[in-house]
Structure 1
């Protein structure tokens, strides 16, 4: 049974917010990993995406640095031909290296791309405070 009836994300705060009627909201601090474009069939790392706020891609360059040290081209090339599976692979690598608590895939509002994120911190919302 899926009790999660809504979710949203705030790039300026770096938060994913999950909620359901009658239960506490779950807040996830996230780091953007990258995006997979359906149109161009490419992967774009968050560290090279100019449309992202620094709050959500402040640490992902660590993955690029790891790629340079190990000679792993997919971690150092900002954009390359890919499919959705590649997005999950890059997200798994980032999650492992950054000791993430989880990962999430968000479709764009126009369904042109998926944005891949990792969970840095997970907490319940303080329900005594106004939204």
Structure 2
């Protein structure tokens, strides 16, 4: 269930995320660093090269995809994730409940379109839009799934 305006809103959110991520790639060379590491204890995602850390960001967790299950799991519904990184995801849940958008309000979203990565980016884009985040990052995980993170701040390391 979703309101009539949601598909256009969702598409705009994805376009906005694409533009935000392009800006991060231009300004901080995200996507070109040889290494990235995230720490869910500190809520940081860092990008490095052989000489060390270059870019530091503060993150929130949007959710994850599972190729095995064929679905998305919102971060707020994953008891394995630290609560301090779930605030934005909880805001999306509240937005989804208020506006009657099932894909934003329920824990699992099935991949009915046959493109799990597209589903992950679509739902992450909704979170970026609702929470006015700076962009997002997809970290591949085992079994064809991924963890989707949103940027709250991004800065040069030094």
Same fold (TM over 0.5): yes
Q: What is residue 121 of structure 2 aligned with on the other side? A: 88
Cα deviation 1:73-115 (Å, max 9, x = unaligned) = 101110131222111111001001111111100012x244201
1:56 pairs with 2:85? yes
Displacement of 1:22 in angstroms is 4.2
Looking at structure 1, the residues matched to 125 and 103 of structure 2 have their Cα atoms a distance apart, in angstroms, of: 13
Count of matched residue positions in the alignment of Structure 1 and Structure 2: 125
Structure 1 stretches lacking a partner, 5+ long = 127-131
Q: What is residue 94 of structure 2 aligned with on the other side? A: 65
Looking at structure 1, the residues matched to 109 and 124 of structure 2 have their Cα atoms a distance apart, in angstroms, of: 15
* 1:1-131 mapped onto 2 (5 Å cutoff): 3-22=32-51, 25-82=54-111, 83-108=116-141, 110-126=142-158
Structure with greater proportional helix content:
2
TM-score normalised to structure 1 length? 0.87
Question: What RMSD over aligned residues (CA atoms) do the two structures have, in Å?
Answer: 1.8
Cα deviation 1:39-72 (Å, max 9, x = unaligned) = 0101100000011112221331000000111110
Structure with greater proportional strand content:
1
Structure 2 stretches lacking a partner, 5+ long = 1-28
TM-score normalised to structure 2 length? 0.73
User: Structure 1 runs of 4+ off > 6 angstroms?
Assistant: none
